[in-house]
């Protein structure tokens, strides 16, 4: 009985601890210094070049390491998706490659930025553009292009905050301001069209922009919580939330 | 006949068409309903978090959530978890503390990003324990979840168990994560 209880207790303990992200937060009250944790040591070497190569151009004012700490949960995902655990033979790498349905975040989630740029004020102005503005004006043409692009070819538009991470305020920060209450649905603007169309228009396209998962490089043969992963070939992009 | 408050320009009529909203209640009625969350009876759960509760969210985030309901209809159940003591949506009423770090369970987090990191903790735990889709309240949803990924995830013939927005290599964005209940990858994440 004692052995059974020990095994049971041990199993429960393992269950409790077998999550990378929760493990990173053991004994912590905030993410400061989390990048020093050996499980995600590779994060210290990550820069913004990988993201910029994929056309994500947020204007971060902080060092990459600050962003990587902010998105430590994504760092945990990276580790898991490169892992083959010899202890329980679970291959995160294989799972990521074959069982995770990926779609392109740039075209499906951030197409407004892809159309008008990554500064929040540009997005703010596009959505605030009036539908009865001069049809030949540059601002009207840009808003028309951006919003109809979202309605016809995007799954969502993720409005970012990234408070104190970017040089210029993100749209989420701007819409949070008291003086901008209601700008997201102001009558007679492209914001109202987006709000209406997101509920009352249905896209004809049968599939969204799915991505075949790239093969992880490198694959680590390590336990889930076993440190010292190799950092070569590991690049990442980052984004505000 | 579907509402036609805005006409679709001719150049886009082959790409979209008008439909009815799947929920006709007012914003206020829908928001009020979120303070009385339904018991879990399905894996079609939409999970979100706002520390001070749904009525304290910025108005534009409230309208995001309201439109999730209008777009996805009654087969999906939205729950906006919070950290308000005794709230029906209190995260610890829905998520087993064994999946969460002590600092969240004990309410001792500090620093400028307590809200976003609380959501980080709850994201994987809610999906592993109950299944469904986690969305940040900053998402303006345009396409129904069934047509983004859920049809594939609930199909026993499909290989897919999890769905996320991809950025580069092994890097994903975590503002949207969909998963079957009890997924082994989400468990280890």
Would you call A103 exposed, middle or buried from its count of C-beta atoms within 10 A (0-12, 13-18, 19+)? buried
Report the pLDDT value the prediction gives residue B2, as an integer from 0 to 100. 57
Confidence of residue B114 (pLDDT cuts 50, 70, 90): very high
Report the pLDDT value the prediction gives residue A50, as an integer from 0 to 100. 85
Q: How far is B136 from chain A (nearest CA, A)?
A: 8
Instruction: Please name which of A158, A177, A161, A179 lies closest in space to residue A169, comparing C-alpha atoms.
Output: A161
Confidence of residue A1 (pLDDT cuts 50, 70, 90): very low
* Across B61-86, average pLDDT: 98
CA dist list (Å): A59 to A43, A52, A75, A237 = 19, 10, 20, 13
* Across A79-90, average pLDDT: 94
Note which residues in 79-118 of chain B have CB less than 8 A from chain A: 98-103, 108-114, 116-117
* Across A3-24, average pLDDT: 57
CB within 8 Å of A220: residues ≥ 6 apart: A79, A82, A83, A84, A229, A230
Instruction: Please name which of A22, A83, A91 lies closest in space to residue B100, comparing C-alpha atoms.
Output: A22
Question: CB contact, 8 Å: A216 with chain B?
Answer: yes
Any idea which of A24-38, A201-215, A226-240 has the lowest mean pLDDT?
Answer: A226-240
C-alpha–C-alpha distance, residues A183 and A128, integer Å:
7
The residue assigned the tokens 């109809």 is A148
**Would you call B189 and A21 a contact, using CB atoms and an 8 Å cutoff?**
yes
Token pair for residue A157? 């538009």
* Across A35-58, average pLDDT: 90
Longest dimension (CA), chain B: 57
Q: What is the pLDDT of residues B152-187, one digit of tens each?
A: 999 999 999 999 999 999 999 999 999 999 999 999
**Would you call B173 and A76 a contact, using CB atoms and an 8 Å cutoff?**
no
Q: Specify the 3-state DSSP secondary structure of B91.
A: helix
How many Cβ atoms from other residues are within 10 Å of residue B124's Cβ?
29
Instruction: Please name which of B102, B173, B46 lies closest in space to residue A70, comparing C-alpha atoms.
Output: B173
Question: CB contact, 8 Å: A148 with chain B?
Answer: yes
Polymer length of chain A: 241
SS (H, E, C) chain A: CHHHHHHHHHHHHHHHHCCHHHHHCCCCCCCCCHHHCHHHHHHHHCCCHHHHHCCCCCCECCCHHHHHHHCHHHHHHHHHHCEECCCCCCEHHHHHHHHEEEEEHHHHCCHHHHHHCCCHHHHHHHHHCECCCCCCCHHHHHHHHHHHHHHHHCCEEECCCCCCCECCCCHHHHHHCHHHCCHHHCCCEHHHHHHHHHHHEEECCCCCCEECCCCCCCCECCCCCCCCCCCCCCCCCCCCC
**Would you call B63 and A214 a contact, using CB atoms and an 8 Å cutoff?**
no
Substitution target in B167, B175, B177 with the highest count of A β-carbons within 10 Å is: B167
Report the pLDDT value the prediction gives residue A239, as an integer from 0 to 100. 52
ipTM over the 0.90 cut-off:
yes
Which residue of chain B has the CA closest to A91?
Answer: B185
**Would you call B15 and A235 a contact, using CB atoms and an 8 Å cutoff?**
no
C-alpha–C-alpha distance, residues B3 and B123, integer Å:
35
Report the pLDDT value the prediction gives residue A216, as an integer from 0 to 100. 81
* Across A90-99, average pLDDT: 95
Peptide bond into A218 cis (omega under 30): yes
C-alpha–C-alpha distance, residues B46 and B81, integer Å:
10
Whether the per-residue pLDDT at A229 is higher than 70: the answer is: no
Note which residues in 94-133 of chain A have CB less than 8 A from chain B: 95-96, 98-106, 108-109
Q: Residue A182 phi/psi, 5° resolution?
A: 90, -5
C-alpha–C-alpha distance, residues A129 and A124, integer Å:
9
Confidence of residue A17 (pLDDT cuts 50, 70, 90): very low
Whether the per-residue pLDDT at B110 is higher than 60: the answer is: yes
| Residue B2 vs residue A120, higher pLDDT | A120
C-alpha–C-alpha distance, residues A149 and A112, integer Å:
8
Longest dimension (CA), chain A: 81
Residue B145: list chain A partners with CB under 8 A: none
Q: Which of B3, B60, B170 sits opposite A200 (nearest CB)?
A: B3
Question: CB contact, 8 Å: B19 with chain A?
Answer: yes
CA dist list (Å): A96 to A12, A46, A91, A214, B130 = 26, 21, 9, 9, 21
The pTM (predicted TM-score) of the whole model is 0.92
């Amino acid at each position: 009985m004692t052995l059974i209880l020990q095994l049971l207790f041990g199993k429960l303990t393992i269950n409790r601890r077998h999550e990378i992200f929760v493990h990173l937060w053991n004994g912590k009250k905030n993410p400061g210094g989390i990048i020093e944790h050996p499980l995600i040591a590779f994060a210290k070497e990550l820069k913004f070049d990988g993201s910029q190569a994929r056309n994500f151009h947020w204007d971060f004012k902080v060092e990459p390491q600050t962003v990587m700490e902010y998105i430590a949960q994504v760092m945990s995902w990276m580790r898991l998706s490169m892992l083959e655990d010899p202890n329980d033979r679970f291959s995160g790498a294989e799972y990521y490659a074959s069982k995770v349905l990926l779609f392109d975040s740039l075209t499906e989630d951030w197409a407004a930025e892809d159309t008008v740029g990554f500064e929040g004020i540009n997005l703010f102005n596009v959505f605030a553009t009036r539908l009865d503005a001069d049809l030949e004006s540059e601002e009207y043409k840009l808003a028309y292009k951006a919003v109809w692009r979202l309605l016809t070819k995007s799954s969502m538009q993720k409005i970012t905050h990234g408070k104190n991470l970017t040089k210029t305020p993100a749209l989420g920060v701007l819409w949070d301001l008291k003086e901008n209450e209601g700008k997201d649905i102001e009558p007679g603007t492209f914001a109202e069209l987006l709000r209406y169309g997101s509920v009352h228009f249905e896209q004809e396209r049968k599939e969204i922009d799915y991505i075949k998962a790239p093969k992880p490089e490198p694959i680590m043969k390590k336990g889930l919580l076993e440190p010292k992963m190799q950092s070569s070939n590991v690049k990442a992009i980052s984004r505000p939330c | 006949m579907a509402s036609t408050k805005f006409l679709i320009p001719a150049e886009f009529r082959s790409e979209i068409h008008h439909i009815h909203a799947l929920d006709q209640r007012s914003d206020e009625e829908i928001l009020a309903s979120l303070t009385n969350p339904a018991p879990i009876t399905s894996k079609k759960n939409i999970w979100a978090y706002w520390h001070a509760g749904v009525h304290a969210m910025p108005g534009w985030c409230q309208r995001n959530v309201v439109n999730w309901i209008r777009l996805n209809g009654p087969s999906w159940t939205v729950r906006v978890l919070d950290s308000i003591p005794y709230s029906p949506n209190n995260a610890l009423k829905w998520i087993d503390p064994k999946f969460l770090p002590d600092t969240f369970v004990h309410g001792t987090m500090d620093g400028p990003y307590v809200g976003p990191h609380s959501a980080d903790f709850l994201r994987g735990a809610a999906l592993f324990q109950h299944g469904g889709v986690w969305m940040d309240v900053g998402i303006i949803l345009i396409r129904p979840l069934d047509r983004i990924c859920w049809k594939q995830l609930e199909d026993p013939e499909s290989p897919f168990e999890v769905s996320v927005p991809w950025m580069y290599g092994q890097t994903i964005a975590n503002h949207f994560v969909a998963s079957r209940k009890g997924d082994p990858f989400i468990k280890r994440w």
